[in-house]
Amino acid sequence: MLLVALTLCGCLISEQEGDRTHVNSPHPEEITFHFDSTFNIALLLGRSAILLALAWWIVGGRGKGFGVPGIVIAVILVGAAGWLSKTGWDRTSAYRIEVRTDRLQVRLPGQPDLDVAWQRIEALDVEGMASNVQLAPGQPFWSTRWKYLEIGLDDGSTYEVDLRPLSVEQRGTFWRAITRKADLEQVSAAGPG
- Dump pLDDT digits (tens) for 129-170: 555 554 556 655 555 567 888 999 999 999 999 888 888 778
Q: Which band of pLDDT confidence, cut at 50, 70 and 90, is reported for residue 177?
A: confident
| In the predicted structure, residue 192 carries a pLDDT above the cut 50 | no
Q: Which of 94, 123, 138 is the last residue of a domain?
A: 94
Can you tell me the distance from the alpha carbon of 7 to that of 92, in angstroms, rounded to the nearest whole number?
Answer: 17
| pTM beyond 0.75, yes or no | no
Q: Which of 47, 76, 94 is the last residue of a domain?
A: 94
Question: How many domains does the chain fold into?
Answer: 2
**Separation CA 54–CA 142 (nearest Å):** 46
pLDDT band at 54 (very low <50, low <70, confident <90, very high): confident
The rounded percent of the chain whose pLDDT value lies above 90 is: 15
Host domain of residue 6? 1-19+29-94
| Tens digit of each residue's pLDDT (9 = 90 or more) over 67-113 | 777 788 888 888 888 888 887 787 788 889 998 888 999 999 888 99
Residue 89 lies inside a defined structural domain of this protein: yes
Q: Is residue 24 part of a domain?
A: no
3 falls within a domain: yes
Q: What is the pLDDT of residue 117?
A: 94
13 and 89 belong to one structural domain: yes
Contact 125, 150 (CB under 8 A): yes
Q: Which of 40, 72, 94 is the last residue of a domain?
A: 94
186 within 8 A of 179, measured Cβ to Cβ: yes
